[in-house]
Amino acid sequence: MIKRIYLVGNPNVGKSVVFSRLTGVEVIASNYPGTTVEFSRGYLKLKDDRVEVVDLPGVYSLEPNSKAEEIALRILNELPKEEFIVINIVDATNLERNLFLTLELIEEGFKVIICLNMCDDAKHRGIVIDVKKLESILGVPVIPTCAVTGAGIKFLIESILKAKQIFLNKLTHQQRWQKIGEIIESVQQLSHRHHTLREILEDASVRPLSGLLISGGVIYLSFKWVRFLGEGLINKVFDPFFFNLYKPLLEKFSFLLEKKGFLHHILIGELIKGEIDFKQSLGILTTAPYIELAMVLPYVLAFYLVLGILEDIGFLPRLAILLDNLLHRIGLHGYAIIPTLLGLGCNVPGILSSRILESKRERFIASTLISIGIPCVALQAMIFGLLGKFSGFYVSGVYLILFSLWLILGIILNATLKGFSPELLIEIPPYRFPPLLVIFKKLYIRIKGFLIEALPIVFLGVIVVNILLYFGLFDFLSSIFSPVVEGLFGLPKEAAIPLVIGFLRKDVAVGMLVPLNLTAKQLFISAVLLAISFPCIATFIVLWKELGLKDLFKATLIMIIVGLSVGTLLNFSIP
Amino acid sequence: MLNTMTTNRLSLVKLKQNQKAKVLEILGGVGIKQRLLSLGIYPGREITKISHFALRGPITVKVGRTTLALGYGMAEKIIVEII
């Protein structure tokens, strides 16, 4: 009786894609080792049974050398060997290295079936694998697939129950590599051909000078594209929709409510000069959807589209090599660029993915730095939206300050925390060009996640401020904070409420600043404060989960100290 | 202490770009040996150095069809012989 199916394979061989194909569960897949830091579960209908499928983090061997390998090993030993099947996913473009784990799995006595993935890519690279011969040497079924397009998956499902348990003597490492050499010799043929453009680019991007030029160009273009796409979507799609279609409707509704009363206040908000003002009315039908859908969503779409393309091509690990040196100065190594970049989208997945770093010390530094120095795309969108109308100096100023803080704080943490930064050891994946459909599917998963998580909290934030205003509590509450807010930061005392609302979500907090008619300097200080001071509630919870209570307090204390001092410093140093 | 007398014995750091070499031994603890082994770097294996980043930056090598990036300190511990 089969109770479970485990997907086991090296990092970055497409386990998550196979998992989605088998179970229909939507998971994020990318082209770099370590996309899956948690294991996902789903179900597959097999004959008349529903069998649980578990996607394990990628491992290179069954010896526990890393956190991912420890987790995988623990899970594989949960059930007796007769009750589960291992689908070993193997990258056909790199059969040799993948077979090490395969042999270990077979030697261990698991029921194994091999899914020889990325067969189409292997063909493009002139690699021919004799599947029948491989099957007969290994003694377990081998099914060629291309999970990205879905080819071979049906056959894989039909063959799952043919998974075989055979008993081999355990080999020593040297013997195992020797056996792999023999297997490769007899089943794999490489056709000689000239280097393709792709291979030339793959090599160029890991050499110092060409790598720097390529990465510089890619990053510059990515930022340009996010700005261009984000602004384009706002001006051409979202603003026209809100102003030409939605506003007239709301105005009729406002008229029906006779433009006053509690309900009008909650739903529409205050009328500014007799009209609905999406940025200032503060109603849950006006400001709430406008902030999140017309100001933030366009940039979220643009950012995740560009990030998704960079991820799937396999660009990010190359960036890790270039930045290794810099990141060592702050106690991390090059691969920490991946959580950092994910943090630019949203701090939550950024902090979660810091699990790809080896030590607790690195994870603490990376998570703390992300929650202080890395503004999420929602906050960035609002900064563009509000500060963009003043001189460009202010927008770049925010980035400059955040980057300096990130660097200085990192250097301080590295110098004061016990321990050292481990060495980089990563696999650089080949460049791959996934079909557009795959990129859009990932974008869809992320946008759906964003809307589900963000919208309720934005509505909550707007309602809180709205009700405080209605009952006249706004002034009273702001007075409590006025010594800090007015005295130290030079902001009007009413800015205290938005700063506190920042604990719910940063974007809605910036939105709440609009009705205060701040000067450019005040807006600038508030934006920096919101970025560094205190994480939003979602980030706070994930920090707690990942770091534990003690380190969470440490991180929070650092944030408060940094927030207070930077806010004060800016106030007194900007004329 | 094996082969200390051979002249073409050097660390991966000293190897030049695009040079092919055979791994002789890996200095250092069991942990690092195991990690490198599971990625395909073990004594007897042929590797090609692709690049080297300045200021004790990382080193990239090709092992079979795998491209690996490893930190300077780790590369120093990999002793190779030019072939």
What are the sequence ranges of the domains in chain B? 9-82
8 A C-beta contact, residue B23 and residue B43? yes
Separation between Cα atoms, residue A144 and residue A156, nearest integer Å = 8
The alpha carbon dihedral of A46, A88, A11, A436 has a sign of negative
Read off the amino acid at residue A52.
E
Q: Give the pLDDT confidence of A179-224 residue by residue, as tens digits.
A: 999 999 999 998 866 678 888 999 899 999 999 999 999 999 999 9
Q: Which residue in the block uniquely carries the two structure tokens 């929070």?
A: A556
Q: What is the mean pLDDT of residues A493-518?
A: 90
Separation between Cα atoms, residue A436 and residue A351, nearest integer Å = 28
Separation between Cα atoms, residue A329 and residue A369, nearest integer Å = 13
CATH code at A4-190: 3.40.50.300
Query: How confident is the model at residue A64, as a pLDDT?
Result: 82
Separation between Cα atoms, residue A480 and residue A499, nearest integer Å = 13
CATH code at B9-82: 2.30.30.90
Q: What is the mean pLDDT of residues A334-346?
A: 95
The beta-carbon neighbor of A423 closest among B37, B65, B70 is: B70
Q: Looking at the predicted structure, is the pLDDT value of residue B59 above 90?
A: yes
What pLDDT band is residue B7 in, cutting at 50, 70 and 90? low
Q: Looking at the predicted structure, is the pLDDT value of residue A470 above 60?
A: yes
Query: How confident is the model at residue A260, as a pLDDT?
Result: 82
What pLDDT band is residue B1 in, cutting at 50, 70 and 90? very low
User: Does the distance separating the beta carbons of A427 and B58 come in below 8 Å?
Assistant: no
User: Does the distance separating the beta carbons of A426 and B69 come in below 8 Å?
Assistant: yes
Q: Extract the tokens encoding A416.
A: 């004061």
| Mean of the per-residue pLDDT values of chain A | 91
User: Does the distance separating the beta carbons of A322 and B39 come in below 8 Å?
Assistant: no
Beta bridge pairs of residue A128: A189
Q: To the nearest whole percent, how much of chain A has pLDDT over 90? A: 68
Among residues 13-42 of chain A, which lie with CB inside 8 Å of chain B? none
Separation between Cα atoms, residue B83 and residue B81, nearest integer Å = 6
Q: CA nearest A326 in B: which residue?
A: B57
Q: To the nearest whole percent, how much of chain A has pLDDT over 70? A: 99
Read off the amino acid at residue A151.
A
Query: How confident is the model at residue A4, as a pLDDT?
Result: 93
Among residues 34-73 of chain B, which lie with CB inside 8 Å of chain A? 34-40, 42, 44-45, 50-58, 60, 63-73
Q: Looking at the predicted structure, is the pLDDT value of residue A483 above 60?
A: yes
Q: Give the pLDDT confidence of A527-549 residue by residue, as tens digits.
A: 999 999 878 899 999 999 989 99
Q: Give the pLDDT confidence of A246-290 residue by residue, as tens digits.
A: 999 999 999 999 888 899 999 999 898 889 999 989 999 999 999
A427 touches chain B (CB under 8 A): yes
Separation between Cα atoms, residue A370 and residue A343, nearest integer Å = 6
Q: What is the mean pLDDT of residues A405-414?
A: 96
Among residues 328-367 of chain A, which lie with CB inside 8 Å of chain B? 333-334
Separation between Cα atoms, residue A375 and residue A504, nearest integer Å = 15
ipTM confidence: 0.91
Query: How confident is the model at residue B5, as a pLDDT?
Result: 52
Separation between Cα atoms, residue A500 and residue A1, nearest integer Å = 55
Query: How confident is the model at residue A398, as a pLDDT?
Result: 94
Query: How confident is the model at residue A408, as a pLDDT?
Result: 96
**Which one has a higher pLDDT value, A185 or B4?**
A185
What are the sequence ranges of the domains in chain A? 4-190, 210-342+359-573
User: Does the distance separating the beta carbons of A94 and B52 come in below 8 Å?
Assistant: no
The beta-carbon neighbor of A424 closest among B63, B64, B69 is: B69
Q: State how beta strands A425-428 and A4-9 pair.
A: unpaired
Query: How confident is the model at residue A105, as a pLDDT?
Result: 95
Chain A partners of B34 at a C-beta cutoff of 8 Å? 61, 63, 65
Query: How confident is the model at residue A437, as a pLDDT?
Result: 87
